[in-house]
Chain A
Amino acid sequence: MYAIEVDNVTKIYGKGDTAVTAISHASFQVRPGELVAILGPSGSGKTTLLTAIGLINEPTHGRIIVDGVTVADDGWVPGLDLKRIRREKLGFIFQAHNLIPFLTALENVMVALEINKFPSGEAKGRAEQLLKSLNLGHRLGSYPMALSGGEAQRVAIARALANKPRVILADEPTAALDTENGKNVMALLKSLAVENHSAILVVTHDHRMVEGFDRIFEVRDGFIIRETRGAG
């Protein structure tokens, strides 16, 4: 079973003369444990594709299946609790880490677990363990503003992993980092994909960051123009 199945997905913004097609007939699948990049310049539609898979942006046409659940079939499937699916099956990593500024590193990870109804004590233990595994054991009580860019992004990764999601969606996760930290984050994502058997879909404009990815989809003007199989 695929972790993500995108079948002929189109997203059109607006109507009539002002309609803009952001994605056109995109189709691909991602297996669990696979690290896949969507590479393209700004405005190519890669984030629109990511948000459609992330159940944020309703596709106009086509079908999306996440971990075996058909979530979109020419629009959202009626009656589905998209929030619950997002909570239980998806993890998000953002360009600007998006940690909650008034929560410590530990609390930022805990909040994702508590939203998913983990008891506070259990959430704390699991968050501590995750942060320690990402070499952030000494930063548990630090607020985001006291963390370096790389540390903050690792906390964000820990938060995305907290609920052991089947799919992790990362939107330009290295954009705010220097090259070395960016490569470290990408390496971390790759190891996590293998260890956790999660499908990781990374959107980026930086082709230097996709080394070692299993597959790379290049997007231009809403079309997937090329699929490259990586060395990974």
Chain B
Amino acid sequence: MNLAIRDIRFHRGRFILTSIGLGLLLGVVMSMGGIYRGLFADALAVLHSTKADLWVVQKDTNGPFAESSRIPEDIKYRIKSVPGVAEASPLSFQTIQIERQGKPFRFFLIGYDLRGIGGPPAILAGRNIRQKHYEMVVAKAMKMALGEKIRLGLHEYTVVGITGKVVSSSGDPAAYVSLADAQEIQFKKDNDAIRNNRERVAADLDRMQNLTQAQAQLLQRNVSDLTESTHTVNTVVARLAPGASLYEVQQRIERWNHYRAISDEGQTKILTKGMIEKARMQLGLFRIILLVISAVIISLIIYTSTLDKIRVIATLKLIGSQNRVIIGMILQQSLLMGVIAYAVGYALISLTYEKFPRRIVLEAFDLQVLFAIVVVICTVSSFVGIRKALKVEPAEALGG
């Protein structure tokens, strides 16, 4: 006869409620783990969807995600010509916040060369961008419908396709437009600003007495062209030809082109170690605190449940029960509580994780480790109850 099961059967209401309470706590622990994994997944989403071997960015920066990086678009031709590079494409990134349906609407805009790499990884609905202008593909998380239009900068853009879960390192869903459109949205000044700029340049040149009128006009045109140019990108990504040495290509770009070439591995390190390290530590600390709280709660529950059973334990000892029967009863109850609480927590998270505002990634390994931790916690927590039970004297069963 299993005394633990009999006791639970008799006090099932109390046991179920306790297990549910504990399950909610373990659900939070699981979600913390999921958020932690989600941070990684989010941080690396653009990196993984681009599938580049090299990220060429402004010299002495950790761009384009961790730091700002601006390089001329035409660098792509020089990168393409480096021996060992098979493909090179410019990319532009910017976070945009506009108002949509009366609410703030924030997303991560990626501009890409329609014939190059770095575009949407998969089209779930609609189609990819075909026209050079005013079309966009949005992530599903943006909850936009095909055909919907939004105004960005000076123009309206139509949603022509829906892609999967691509987000920025801060968790904002991604939208794709052509590189030219992205550059215009990011760098193109409005007409008033352009006019003011031209007048300011002209006024500055007028003050230069040693310039002829023709020279000043020529200079003004050139300065305006330079300041109004939108042909700037944040990075040029490259894929290597089979067999090419990543290190050699990196060295060549850095030595001759004066840009920084970050490998995919290096970029991963920048994103994970640099950008989300503190969040990771904070979540890890939270998980530890919650596990300690769970351990304390389980210990208290088992201890008070043992106190409730002092007379039962004394009676069992008096009628000759072995200690292992009593230890087994307490340990099994503790473990059963932990297992049920784990199942409740798992069910809770499995049903709700897609509704969280940030990505929750539940990995089998994390869940298995947590299960093992819960088993260890339950075993250790039951020791306080077992210690109390072993101290109970059979004589306590006597008397009124």
CA distance A56 to B325 in the complex (A): 19
The bracket for how many chain B residues form the interface is: 20 to 34
Q: Quick check: is A196 within 8 A (CB to CB) of the other chain? A: no
By a CB distance below 8 angstroms, the chain A residues around B398 are: 47, 50-51, 56, 94-95, 171
Complex alpha-carbon distance, A120 and B3, angstroms: 13
- On whether the beta carbons of B319 and A159 are closer than 8 Å, the reply is yes
B322 contact set on A, CB distance < 8 A: 83, 115
Residue of A nearest to B311 (CB): A98
Which residue of A51, A92, A101 is within 8 Å of B319 (Cβ)? Answer: A92
Whether the pair A57, B395 counts as a contact (CB closer than 8 A) is yes
Give the contacting residue for B10; candidates A47, A101, A171, A172; CB below 8 A. A101
Interface assignment of A84: CB less than 8 Å from any CB of chain B: yes
Q: B333 CB to closest chain A CB, in angstroms?
A: 11
A198 to B288, CA, bound (A): 59
* Known A98-B311, A115-B322: A107·B1 in contact at CB below 8 Å: yes
Task: Flag whether A112 is at the interface (Cβ < 8 A).
Answer: yes
Number of residues of chain A lying within 8 A (CB) of chain B:
35
- Determine the residue in chain B with the shortest Cβ distance to A85: B320
Contacts of A112 in B (CB 8 A): 319
Q: Report the minimum CB–CB distance from B396 to chain A (whole Å).
A: 10
What does the 1/0 interface line of B159-201 toward A look like (CB < 8 Å)?
Answer: 0000000000000000000000000000000000000000000
Contact A102 B399 (CB under 8 A): no
Is residue B397 contacting chain A, with contact meaning CB distance below 8 A?
A: yes
Tell me if A114 and B312 are in contact (CB < 8 A). Answer: no
Please, how many angstroms separate the alpha-carbon atoms of A96 and B400 in the complex? 6
In chain A, residues 73-124, which have Cβ atoms closer than 8 Å to a Cβ of chain B? 83-84, 86-88, 90, 92, 94-96, 98, 100-103, 107, 110-112, 114-116, 120
- Does B321 reach chain A (CB closer than 8 Å)? yes
Residue in A103, A107, A172 with the greatest tally of chain B CB atoms within 10 Å: A103
Contact of A116 among B9, B320, B400 (CB under 8 A): B320
Cβ-neighbour of B11 out of A47, A54, A102 (below 8 A)? A102
Report if B156 contacts A (CB, 8 A): no
Task: Report the minimum CB–CB distance from A170 to chain B (whole Å).
Answer: 11
- Look across to chain B and name the residue whose beta carbon is closest to the beta carbon of A108: B315
A175 at interface (Cβ–Cβ under 8 A)? yes
User: Which of A86, A102, A111 is in CB contact (< 8 Å) with B9?
Assistant: A102
- For B325, the chain A residues whose CB sits under 8 A away are 115
Cα A50 to Cα B7 with chains together (Å): 30
| Contact count A vs B, C-beta below 8 Å | 79
Q: Which of A95, A100, A101, A143 contacts B400 (CB 8 A)?
A: A95
A176 within 8 A of B: yes
Complex CA distance for A228 and B88, rounded to whole angstroms: 112
Do A87 and B319 contact each other (CB < 8 Å), given the known contacts A47-B398, A51-B395, A101-B312?
yes
Known contacts A111-B1, A143-B10; is-contact A87 B320 (Cβ 8 Å):
yes
CB distance from B308 to the nearest CB of A (A): 9
Q: Is the beta-carbon distance between B7 and A102 smaller than 8 angstroms?
A: yes
Given A101-B10, A102-B11, A103-B6; A84-B320 close (CB under 8 Å): yes
Q: How far is the CA of A215 from the CA of B303 in the complex (A)?
A: 45
Q: Is B316's beta carbon under 8 Å from chain A?
A: yes
Q: How far is the CA of A181 from the CA of B400 in the complex (A)?
A: 17
User: Do B1 and A100 touch across chains, with their CB atoms under 8 A apart?
Assistant: no
Task: Please name all residues of chain B whose beta carbon is closer than 8 Å to the beta carbon of A84 when the two chains form the complex.
Answer: 320
Min CB–CB distance B244 → chain A (angstroms): 72
Nearest residue (CB) in A for B325 is A115
- Bound complex: CA A54 to CA B320 (Å): 11
Q: Contacts of B400 on A, CB cut-off 8 Å?
A: 95-96, 172, 175-176
Contact among A47, A50, A83, A111 with B3 in the assembled complex (CB-CB below 8 Å)? A111
Complex alpha-carbon distance, A116 and B320, angstroms: 8
- Give Cα distance in the complex from A143 to B394, angstroms: 23
Partner of A56, one of B1, B9, B10, B318: B318
Determine if B3 and A95 form an interchain contact, defined as CB atoms under 8 angstroms apart: no
Taking CB atoms and an 8 Å cut-off, the chain B residues in 355-400 that contact chain A are 393-395, 397-400
Complex-state Cα separation, A110 to B321, whole angstroms: 13
Give chain A residues whose Cβ lies under 8 Å from the Cβ of B6. Answer: 102-103, 107
> Would B321 and A100 count as touching, CB distance under 8 A?
no
How far in angstroms is the closest Cβ of chain B from A142?
A: 13
Q: A56-B394, A94-B398 are in contact. Are A102 and B10 (CB under 8 A)?
A: yes
Q: Are A86 and B1 in contact (CB under 8 A)?
A: no
**Residue from B3, B10, B397 within 8 A of A98 (CB atoms):** B397
Taking a contact as CB atoms under 8 Å apart, the answer to whether B3 and A56 are in contact is no
Pair A114/B1 contact, Cβ less than 8 Å: yes
- Asked, given contacts A98-B311, A98-B397, A175-B400, whether A115 binds B321 with beta carbons under 8 Å apart, the answer is yes
| 26 sampled A-B residue pairs with Cβ under 8 A | A51-B398, A56-B398, A83-B321, A83-B322, A84-B320, A86-B318, A86-B319, A86-B320, A92-B319, A92-B397, A95-B398, A95-B399, A98-B311, A98-B397, A100-B312, A101-B10, A101-B312, A102-B7, A102-B312, A103-B3, A112-B319, A115-B316, A159-B319, A171-B399, A175-B400, A176-B400
Question: A residues near B, CB below 8 A?
Answer: 47, 50-51, 54, 56-57, 83-84, 86-88, 90, 92, 94-96, 98, 100-103, 107, 110-112, 114-116, 120, 143, 159, 171-172, 175-176
- 5 shortest A-B CB distances, which residue pairs? A87-B320, A102-B10, A86-B320, A102-B7, A98-B315
